[in-house]
Amino acid sequence: MHQHEPKPQPEKSLPEGVRHIVAVGAGKGGVGKSTVAVNLAVAMAADGLKVGLLDADVYGPNLPQMMGVQNHVPRMGDDGKIEPVEAHGVRLMSMGFLLEPDSPVIWRGPLLHGAMNQFLRDVRWGGLDVLVVDLPPGTGDVQLSIAQIVPLTGALIVTTPQSIALSDVMKAAAMFRKLEVPIFGVVENMGDFICPHCRMTSRVFSHGAAKTLSEKYGVPLLGDIPLDPAVCSAGEDGQPLCVAHPESAPARALRGVARAVAARLAVPIAKRQGG
């Protein structure tokens, strides 16, 4: 082939029966991507959507624990397809189910690409309105592989408000733009602190990162999730906050994000209960 001719790209297609894929990403680690992904998934499932959740963080797969199914092992069907594990009305697949606890993944790009391909093609997702993908931090091989294998309907970017997080988050936004994935919006996490004793709210960091990002990229701010120790303990206990304390302030904000996403997916209203 002539060196200037573009390489042929393999056809992207959705996994069988899956209508939409939404990625949750961020440039930075530890900002709350997994927390948002898990609560987004369970909140949409509670609204009557058929939801899958793919833990694409092969380096630190913690969704099985956050969904309370860390001791489960996915079954393999007669046809060689892997059955996702059902938790809180959501079908979950994670590298965490397949690895010994504490064993690290030290993989190069092609192996990661193969793993993503298997997660997307060899898992029996079944009929899903939406598959939520929890991405690892950064802008690396996993993100690129997923965007090459399947069409993504959209992406959410999670950020904390400190300006230190900002340049990383801009990188994540630029990556989605480059991969031609529409950015549904920004979720600001841990800007306000809810005191566990008196339940008063205090602003810990100045507002800024999410607003700047949303202005620069013209994407809406979909939610402002307060810092609440209950979010952390819910994750550790395997009961996402939207399940454990659905009326708490962070759960209400997370449900708002879920409804904004469902609206962007144009899932028929009749399928959704109560909203």
Residues in contact with ligand ATP by the rule CB under 6 A: 26, 29-35, 57, 60, 137, 189-190, 225, 227-228, 231-232, 235, 250
CB of 2 to ligand ATP, least distance (A): 42
Q: Which is nearer to Mg ion, 40 or 267 (CB)?
A: 40
Q: Which is nearer to ligand ATP, 173 or 227 (CB)?
A: 227
User: Per rule CB under 5 A, is residue 159 in the interface with Mg ion?
Assistant: no
Q: Which is nearer to ligand ATP, 222 or 267 (CB)?
A: 222
CB of 17 to Mg ion, least distance (A): 26
Which residue is associated with the tokens 């499932």? 45
CB 56 within 8 A of CB 146: yes
Give me the phi and psi of 138, to 5 degrees please.
Answer: 95, -170
- Stretch of 10-18, 49-57, 115-123, 148-156 contacting Mg ion, by CB under 5 A: 49-57
Instruction: Please give the residue whose beta carbon sits closest to Mg ion in the complex.
Output: 34
From Mg ion, ligand ATP, none, which one binds at residue 129 (CB under 5 to 8 Å depending on kind)? none
Q: Which is nearer to ligand ATP, 136 or 154 (CB)?
A: 136
Provide the sign of the torsion angle of the four alpha carbons 119, 151, 40, 103, taken in this order.
positive
User: Per rule CB under 5 A, is residue 65 in the interface with Mg ion?
Assistant: no
145/247 Cα distance (integer angstroms) = 37
User: Per rule CB under 5 A, is residue 34 in the interface with Mg ion?
Assistant: yes
Q: Which is nearer to ligand ATP, 51 or 227 (CB)?
A: 227
75/250 Cα distance (integer angstroms) = 34
102/87 Cα distance (integer angstroms) = 22
Site string for Mg ion, 109-148 (x = CB under 5 A): ----------------------------------------
CB of 26 to ligand ATP, least distance (A): 6
Q: What is the DSSP letter of 247?
A: T
Helical ranges in the chain per DSSP H: 33-46, 63-66, 109-121, 141-149, 166-178, 209-217, 229-237, 241-244, 249-265
With vertex at residue 51, the alpha carbon angle to CA 177 and CA 82, rounded to the nearest 5 degrees, is 100
From ligand ATP, Mg ion, none, which one binds at residue 109 (CB under 5 to 8 Å depending on kind)? none
Helix (H) or strand (E) holding 155: strand 154-159
Query: CB-based burial of residue 53 (10 Å sphere; 0-12 exposed, 13-18 middle, 19+ buried)?
Result: buried
From ligand ATP, Mg ion, none, which one binds at residue 35 (CB under 5 to 8 Å depending on kind)? ligand ATP
Interface contacts to Mg ion, rule CB under 5 A:
33-34, 57
